[in-house]
Structure 1
């Protein structure tokens, strides 16, 4: 890797820093003193220090200023403002030599936050829980962002040291051991990465390397990362190297790119596509490597087979499902208020619900036609970190709607040909909330706390200042503690019943649907009407998969519900009709 500290086979360490605005740079070892760095072409500075090796602590000093951590630090044991530590990535003894990943159509994704997944909140503790996920039918874990953030707790989207795994979770080799354990269990590992901004505290690049940003583009976080302006080559190389880093040095199986619609890039080859090419032409030549996007623009052109990304998070399906379950229509849910059942059926069948229609919430067209894409181009979910955590009180769906409604939607989710995703604890109807939390100090902490509460002022329930004051303080340690899963719940009612249902649905998925998904080349058709959802998808070898769901409080008579022929795969009820909130899934073969 051309950035950061590289342990040399002949001894010593090579340090490389890109800082075109600096006239002079030094690497300062702690202890060990300062070592001048040679000025190279195109803004690079380099020094080889014979006495430095794995475990050495260091910072960079630019033009005699205050020493700063390495922006490409592989580990910052004393948080983002402390010294970086030299890491030898080749020192770990991997046990997964035979691992080649898994094809995408086998994916059942489980999103988790390392700090809240277990009481200990560590890589090592998370590794101990993976066997239970594999036994349930999960085939991939997706780790919320790992890039080091300021303080002891954070969702991860405030990362400032993009190559340094969060020190609060353990050392880099603890993350490698987690991946090793996952692979031994047949689980893929994806990492959520944030390439649209740096966090507000601990990013020193603004001070000594302004070329890293392009003021011509503004984002919600200030000047955009410089993907398309002068000096863009080194900036783009930094993030391409980061994408490869998680896949190569940690053996991860792919990435989830956060909010690519917030990346400002007018280049002929967008940075997202360049990253996708680097993954495919690098580690992707030897094993399965997958790239998943979050993209509010619903750009079908970016998804396989025409595009380079494997899949996209399907917010449309979630939003329509949320409205039909809860009746909530605030904010972006207004786009689904008029016909949530029809939009849910369309999202099931074709991926995007909005394929160029005008979004009432945005007041402009949104999306592209997506019915030509395979159903596996969409990662669908009923809950995720955003949709739970961005609620004022972090309530999960089980706090908002009854079990019967949710069980019907889980059958739709887990037995549809999309790639399903569960948010940690969802599989056992966890009672714990997932709140927004961070660990800022001073004025920044005040701004985040007050801004968080101001966000909810437009909601009637929080119109009163006293009501808003009850919204948990994101910076309080108690807010983080409330968000940790309680694993003992899995053994009690109603949690064990939900766990059993999810296990049963996933077993049916793996037995009957997954073997036919690799040949599913395009989306399905919505055949239902009103609140009766009926969708059929073409699968491999002329097979057809059909889902019928009566998502309302009234029964549907048998003539509307019974499909011609086919092998019943899942029936939630007895009899020939469709009672309220019931689901029937069938497989039709030639």
Structure 2
């Protein structure tokens, strides 16, 4: 790890993460290093210079050379055994997409202006997930940077960028990336991403990046040709052979991914990572790759930075979590359970995984709010097996709650957002529950102004693969009754049609007129209340739950106790009928939010009340 202070401009930092792979600028040129155990000879081809530089074969399948003819900006490929030309698997930039040459990038060249930034404590986290290509009209890093002030005034504290690793074609969600160190050129150059991150930090916003360590995309991955040990047929995943984290050659594979995690956190000064679908990582090593990554990141945390590692794991494996940004372990996990149960309450949908939440949605929501997961070792009828682990000892802050995210919208056939599926009153009630509960909330881009545009699944593959993806997606929905008819499935948007991307791009003018403007005000007010009364307490100490009680068909009350002695209380009726609240209804000294004033111990349909009993040393008693 290297951080150099620019003596010419005090306060300006220049960051570089030595990778051990790829192209590194050194004093006498550029050092190129490739792991290619299946190759006999590897050359570096400098395309603009018209130079071929033979690489020296080293032990363990490595090839290396330092060339004085290469420089920052040089375009290069590796030539394998005198034939196939391939990009660098550790490329820092691919100006001509995944099949084109890699570009030498001097990481020291960017002058950072956020040298004093150390991040923010996890208790203050409110995440805003966005897709760079559809967030702004331009679909670029620069376009996203121009909109950051809107997010700062909204009250979120972190932006989470969907995967940036270079993907094939003009558009992709990012989960088909094949070059994990190269931010996709469709969004801009590396320095444009660094400028976005520095600007976010200047506004008090953290930046998380979504990383994919469970597979490579289907187009543009050449590793299997010259480094077949990168994969193993001993384990299978939904994408085919697994990445080799536990067999012969896995030491290098593991180093590649631990280096990638450190790279985003150090060289790009990101504040956290979201690890995609870790349940699809198969690793029988004595030390899992996840633990290895956490240990590799520990020195960065030890320097006083708030660095947050967040998992997506549909198996509800709580054992990875420690609920804080401490030296090891993972801070939190996306809580799919709370989304699923809220979706059932709001829409009544029961297809697919929603069937597991139909029996007692209010009770399952109470468990999510107080214990994290609804499933902690219970039988799942949908999965036909036991799901989850106990969350005992974990804080509510270890579970990220959401009403929408890219998956839960985009994996629907027509990409409908929750406001297209449920009544405004129901959505407001669920939003009020999520944004003031101690668990860190996540908003998906446009949610704050009830964006009317869908978020569809889109990609841009070559003709043969494109056709397979389109047909496969439509086939995927054939098991749902509403898509049993082939003519109905034919109306599902084609992921490879450029119009599908365009339809998914936010229309920011909606935030300036009703009803979008009213939704925006609603979210701002709730997040301001959270920052003042909830976030500050969470940042100062742990919170523990006081349990929950049920009332009526879909009502519940929940309590939490903060370290300063303050008590937070929720009463919510998430149904269409009036209900009498069973436990304490005496007004709290401080009302944080209420849909309407209580009437005779009853809550009407979709009514929510949040109250706070301040602690002995409370400093926020001036009202919400």
TM-score bracket, normalised by the shorter chain, equals over 0.9
Give the superposition deviation at 1:130: 0.5
Q: C-alpha displacement at 1:62, in angstroms?
A: 1.2
Q: Does 2:247 match 1:229?
A: yes
Which position in structure 1 is the counterpart of 2:4? Answer: none
Q: Which runs of 5+ in 1 are unaligned?
A: none
Report whether the alignment pairs 1:384 with 2:409.
no
**Equivalent residue for 1:363?**
384
Which residue of 483, 486, 489 maps to 2:507?
A: 486
Matched, 1:22 2:22: no
For the pair 1:573 / 2:596, whether they are aligned, the reply is yes
| C-alpha distance in 2 between matches for 1:566 and 1:62 | 72
Counterpart secondary structure, 2:479:
coil
Shift of 1:284: 4.6
Partner of 1:525: 547
CA contact (8 A) 1:4 1:71 kept: yes
Q: Alpha-carbon deviation of 1:569? A: 1.3
Equivalent runs, 1:418-457 vs 2, <5 Å = 418-457=439-478
Q: From the superposition, tell whether residues 562 and 458 of structure 1 become closer, same or farther in structure 2 (CA, over 3 Å).
A: same
Structure 1: distance between partners of 2:302 and 2:123? 16
Q: Give the 5 Å matches for 1:163-174.
A: 163-174=181-192
Question: Alignment RMSD, CA only?
Answer: 1.3
- Does residue 278 (structure 1) correspond to residue 292 (structure 2)? The answer is no
1:96 maps to which residue?
114
| Aligned-residue offset at 1:404 | 0.4
CA shift at 1:523, angstroms?
4.0
Rate the CA distance shift 1:517–1:193 in 2: closer, same or farther, 3 A: same
Alignment of 1:50-69 (within 5 A): 50-69=68-87
- How far off is 1:493 after superposition? 1.2
* Aligned-residue offset at 1:546: 1.1
Residue aligning to 2:492: 471
User: Secondary structure at the residue paired with 2:192?
Assistant: helix
Gaps of 5+ in 2: 1-18, 616-624
Counterpart CA distance in 2 for 1:57 and 1:444 is 28
Conserved 8 A contact 2:338-2:368: yes
**What's the TM-score once normalised by structure 2's chain length?**
0.93
- The 5-angstrom pairing of residues 64-83 of structure 1 reads 64-83=82-101
Q: Do 1:393 and 1:472's aligned partners in 2 also have CA atoms closer than 8 Å?
A: yes
Question: Is 2:218 the counterpart of 1:200?
Answer: yes
Residue in structure 2 matched with residue 547 of structure 1 by the alignment: 570
State the Cα deviation string for residues 110-136 of structure 1 (Å, max 9, x = none): 000000001100000100101110111
Q: Which moved more, 1:380-389 or 1:269-278?
A: 269-278
Using the alignment, how far apart are the partners of 1:515 and 1:94 within structure 2?
Answer: 29
- The superposition leaves residues 363-415 of structure 1 with CA deviations (integer Å, 9 ceiling, x where unpaired) of 11111121421111011000000000000000001110110000000000000
SS in structure 1 of the partner of residue 478 of structure 2: coil
Which residue pairs with 1:585 in the alignment? 610
8 Å CA contact 1:549–1:581 kept in 2: the answer is yes
Q: Secondary structure at the match of 1:126?
A: helix
Structure 1 moving runs of 4+ over 3 Å = 521-524, 557-561, 563-566
Equivalence for 1:330: 351
Task: Provide the residue aligned with 2:5 in structure 1.
Answer: none
Partner of 2:199 in structure 1? 181
Q: Which residue of 2 aligns with 1:45?
A: 63
- Contact 1:16–1:46 under 8 Å retained in 2: yes
Structure 1 284/480 Cα, relative in aligned 2: closer, same or farther at 3 Å? farther
Quote how far apart the aligned CAs of 1:305 are. Answer: 5.1
Aligned to 1:13: 30
What is the TM-score with the length of structure 1 in the denominator? 0.98
Q: 1:120 aligns with which of 138, 148, 152?
A: 138
- CA pair 563-237 structure 1, distance change in 2 beyond 3 A: farther
Secondary structure of the 1:528 match is strand
The 8 Å contact of residues 128 and 159 in structure 2, kept in 1 or not, is answered as: yes
Counterparts of 1:204 and 1:29 in 2: how far apart (Å)?
Answer: 19
Q: Secondary structure at the match of 1:587?
A: strand
